[in-house]
Amino acid sequence: MSEENKEQTQVEDTQQMYLDEINNLKANTVSKEDYNKLLTENRNLLKSIVEGKTQDTTVEEQPSRDIKDILGDFNSDSTNLDHIKAVLELHDKRLEQGYNDFVPMGHNISPTDEDIEDAQQVYDFLQDLVKTADGNADVFNNEYQRRVKDIPLPKRK
């Protein structure tokens, strides 16, 4: 009986080992259909690069938000990155309406070409910071502090 129990235990251990391996393979593999689809896309991309053609890429657009939704993003729990993303989105919406909030404008002030160029530089700078951060608020803060230089204020009389 003892040998029979040993054999049965070995069979059960072997079966369990096979089942574990099958479950591991299922969890860590991709379906053949998905694999072939990616393989075809990669071949087409490589072919277009070799031939110097541009690949048409389609990006899913996020649904457009109105200004009230964007303003709702400003709260005390938000990071600097969240604030700047919202500012840039708000700026884009306001530009669609004909307002550029990055340039000086008022009753006695009208923006010059230099003001508009400076505003575009600020916008591009902030966009670059957001892109560099890639969703990481700490990277955003570090890049901001590294790239922005303090300007000494004039002494008061």
Structurally, how many domains does the chain consist of? 2
Q: Are 87 and 111 found together in one domain?
A: yes
Q: Are 135 and 89 found together in one domain?
A: yes
Summarised one tens digit per residue, pLDDT across range 24-73 is: 766 677 666 777 777 788 778 877 787 777 655 554 555 567 666 666 66
Q: Rounded distance, CA 112 to CA 19, Å? A: 73
Q: Are 103 and 136 found together in one domain?
A: yes
Residue span of the structural domain in which 143 resides: 67-147
Q: Rounded distance, CA 67 to CA 87, Å? A: 11
Q: Are 34 and 73 found together in one domain?
A: no
Establish if 43 belongs to a structural domain.
Answer: yes
Q: Are 73 and 141 found together in one domain?
A: yes
Of the candidates 145, 142, 125, the residue with the CA atom closest to the CA atom of residue 84: 125
pTM of the model: 0.53
Q: Are 126 and 87 found together in one domain?
A: yes
**85, exposed or middle or buried, with CB in 10 Å at 0-12, 13-18, 19+?**
buried
Establish if 101 belongs to a structural domain.
Answer: yes
